[in-house]
Amino acid sequence: MEKLLAGKVAVVTGSGRGIGAAIARRLAQFGAKVVLTDINGEGIKALEKELVEAGSEAKSMLFDVADFTHIPEQVNQMNALFGRIDIWVNNAGITESAPIENITVQQWDRMQDIDLKSVFFCSQAVFKIMKEQQYGRLVHISSMAGERGGRGSSASYSAAKAGVINLAKSFALNGGQYNITSNAVCPGRTLTEMAKDLSWLTDPKDDPKLTIPLQRFGTPEDIADAVLFLASDLSSYITGAVLDVNGGLYMR
Ligand SMILES: NC(=O)c1ccc[n+]([C@@H]2O[C@H](COP(=O)([O-])OP(=O)(O)OC[C@H]3O[C@@H](n4cnc5c(N)ncnc54)[C@H](O)[C@@H]3O)[C@@H](O)[C@H]2O)c1
């Protein structure tokens, strides 16, 4: 049986570890050629080796999503690696847990640059390529915090992630006529390195058995499965959607 993503080329930002690495593994497992990008060169190099040894086609490239002036040129370089880009996953991001009274202008700006502005300028650059191809799947990793506001994670983070949901809709509205879909995934509490900075991991009040209907924290693979669906043609008639992957912790 042909694999779901056979012949497709996917770029995943921030795929050096965590959710991004799990997404890249899942897309490769289902037949996509993957371009691994991150500011963490070691992580993407190791994953490239792992995927190639497992029989997939993978290439890695250093890429800072907040290096705005170089994004168009670097996205064109990624396009040249396998000759097209069918799937683009905006996953790279940072978080912080600064209390609402203490967030500085610098912290605010850094958060918006890396978690929001990057999503717009990366999507804009790849949109041009997808428009020419008359095919594209944009998947944006937002957050449960983007839907309900931030407490454990900062208000600057939740505001950026709310912006990501809105951008998913703008690209959906403008991309539909070119067969480009654009959807957001909102992870809940997911066990990665990022989570180590957040209070829910250790606070007994946040025990998942008491707070999460599915009684456990999420794994990177839980998020990757949702991305696989939205990156594939199983979701051809879904665009501008927001898919919650949070074990039922937050229901809209
Ligand atoms: N872990 C969670 O509980 C959780 C919940 C909701 C949403 N998310 C979102 O999921 C995404 C992945 O998070 P994670 O938990 O895997 O985090 P992580 O910190 O484990 O991984 C993030 C990756 O992004 C990379 N990165 C950071 N800044 C970058 C930049 N400027 N350019 C390129 N790459 C950069 C890092 O090097 C790292 O490899 C993020 O957008 C995050 O906001 C995570």
Residue 16 Cβ inside 6 Å of ligand 1? The answer reads yes
Ligand 1 centroid to 199 CA: how many Å? 17
In a domain, 2, yes or no: no
Instruction: Provide the pLDDT for residue 196.
Output: 87
Q: What percent of the chain clears pLDDT 70, i.e. is strictly above it?
A: 100
In a domain, 105, yes or no: yes
Is 178 a residue of the active site? Answer: no
Does 250 map to a domain? Answer: no
Residue 252 lies in a domain: no
Task: Give mean pLDDT, residues 177-191.
Answer: 98
Q: Give the largest Cα separation in the chain, rounded.
A: 56
pLDDT of residue 152: 74
Residue 38: Cβ-neighbour burial (10 angstroms; 0-12, 13-18, 19+): buried
For residue 18, pLDDT over 90 is answered with yes
Say which residue the tokens 């640059």 belong to.
Answer: 113
Range of the domain at 20: 9-245
What is the CATH classification number for the domain harbouring 121?
3.40.50.720
- Percent of the chain residues topping a pLDDT of 90: 93
Nearest residue CA, atom 23 of ligand 1?
A: 14
| Distance between Cα 73 and ligand 1 center (Å) | 23
pLDDT at 1: 65
Other beta carbons within 10 Å of 123: 25
Phi then psi for residue 229, to 5 deg, are -60, -50
Summarize pLDDT for 67-98 with one digit per residue, the tens: 999 999 999 999 999 999 999 999 999 999 89
pTM reported for the whole predicted model: 0.98
User: What is the rounded CA–CA span in Å between residue 181 and residue 87?
Assistant: 10
Q: Does 251 reside within a domain? A: no
Decide whether any atom of ligand 1 lies within 6 Å of the 136 Cβ: no
Compute the mean pLDDT over every residue in the chain, rounded to the nearest whole number. Answer: 97
Average pLDDT over residues 164-177: 99
Structural domain includes residue 42:
yes
User: Which tens digit of pLDDT belongs to each residue from 111-168?
Assistant: 999 999 999 999 999 999 999 999 999 999 999 999 999 887 899 999 999 999 999 9
In a domain, 1, yes or no: no
pLDDT higher than 80, residue 170: yes
CB of 8 closer than 6 angstroms to any ligand 1 atom = no
Domain assignment present for 138:
yes
**Which residue in 135, 157, 178, 250 is the catalytic one?**
157
pLDDT of residue 65: 98
State how beta strands 180-187 and 136-141 pair. Answer: parallel
Q: Which residues contact 203 (CB under 8 A, 6 or more apart)?
A: none
Residue 55 DSSP SS3: coil
For ligand 1, the distance from its centroid to the CA atom of residue 21, given in whole angstroms, is 10
- DSSP class per residue in 128-183: HHHHHHT-EEEEEE--HHHHH--SSS-HHHHHHHHHHHHHHHHHHHHHGGGTEEEE
Report the candidate in 20, 22, 14 with the shortest Cα–Cα distance to residue 40: 14
With residue 47 as reference, give the H or E element that holds it.
Answer: helix 41-53
State whether the beta carbon of 90 lies less than 6 angstroms from ligand 1: no
Q: How many domains does the chain have?
A: 1
Sort residue 19 into left (φ over 0), alpha (ψ -120 to 50) or beta.
alpha
pLDDT-derived band at 198, boundaries 50, 70, 90 = confident
